[in-house]
Amino acid sequence: MPSPITRRVSRATGRVSWIVQVRIGTKSDGKPRWLTKTFEKLRDAKAYLAKVIKDRDEGLVVQPSKMRLNEFLDKWLESAVEPRVRANTYRSYRWQLKKYVRDEIGSFRLCDISPLQIQKLYSKLNREGLSSRVVRYTHTILNNAFGQAVKWRMLASNPCTGAELPRSKHKEALVLTAEEVTRFVSVLRGTRHEVLFLVALTTGMRPSEYLALHWKDIDLDTARIQVRRSIDWRRKEKWEFSEPKTTRSRRSIPIPEEVVNRIHKHRRVQAEERLKAGPGWGNYNLVFCDRRGEPLDRQNLLRRRLRPLLKKAGISTDLTLYSLRHSCATLMLAAGVHSKVVSERLGHSSITVTLDVYSHVLPNMQVEATDKIGQVVFGN
């Protein structure tokens, strides 16, 4: 029986290398399946051989796949990602891979991709001036993909493990100040989307949540809104309702009496529009919709409705629909509302997320807390 370790000398350079070849099983056609690897040092070859034999005997041997990365990513997205994530997340993964990964390393065989190649990819993205968030998000996707390859026994290890990532830079959320809120509410009066923006500002709901509200989700007697779904835009004029982002996103939010009164009026106006539209009205029972009863497009809402109102109020038009959510959170925290209450209102997965996103508010809260403890201890 031939030795599993063979010595080879290069004719061109005279270099000696050691080839390990171990039979690890049988293919479907009955032919033997071999695992082959080359080493520069004999001791490394012997160590590898001992490990492979041990793993083979324990049924743990993985035959690295020669499938191209792009082909694997297609299979991973289709079978492991699309069935378990939201439509927006799936599209985001697919776009990120197409933009930053496929052209760079997609043609490589899965078994040939090393940790060094992954590190070079991240370094290249960093040199091109992409933010740390983009690089870290790309890593998250690739790490998940290669992790699945390990679970599917297509790889023995994840090449993303141990990669050095750029330091995460905290970007402070753009928000309205208390004085700007007063000006914004003033220019809202009487506009078509007054109630929508007031709900956004006072509840802290995500745009995808308040744009998916049905009338049955609002109890005007108890002044509460139930968050039960969100809306995902797939492409122009293509949308779908989906489950809330997380388990805690399903929540009940109390609303101010002033907002309840305006919702009553909004409902009457919408009923009149529905009568005018007749059979052409979209029967989705949406609280916020266009003049045909169809869901509102988020980008149109930002460009054609919110930004002109911000400009009229003398407020930066860099703010987004999400800025109203952030404003609700920061104003509550600054007013001394407990961070756990704020977290529950926003539907965050944990209070840690709330404290991390709105950490810029905490220093002022610490000053106020210091003043209060000083009053208690020293009676000032």
- CA neighbours within 13 Å on the CB side: how many for 301? 20
- Tell me the three state secondary structure of residue 163: coil
Mean pLDDT, rounded, of the chain: 88
The 16-26 sheet, strands edge to edge: 5-9, 16-26, 32-39
Q: How far is CA 9 from the centre of its chain?
A: 51
Q: Report the pLDDT averaged over residues 365-374.
A: 66
Beta bridge mates, 36: 21
End-to-end CA distance of the chain: 91
Whole-number Å distance between alpha carbons of 144 and 252:
33
Predicted TM-score (pTM) of this structure: 0.69
Q: Which CATH class is domain 69-151?
A: mainly alpha
Out of 131-135, 210-214, 303-307, which region has the weakest mean confidence (pLDDT)? Answer: 131-135
Higher pLDDT, 303 or 373: 303
Topology match between the domains 69-151 and 178-368: no
Domain chopping of the chain, boundaries = 5-57, 69-151, 178-368
Out of 21-35, 245-259, 297-311, which region has the weakest mean confidence (pLDDT)? Answer: 21-35
* Amino acid letter, residue 154: M
Whole-number Å distance between alpha carbons of 17 and 5:
10
Q: Tell me the CATH number for domain 178-368.
A: 1.10.443.10
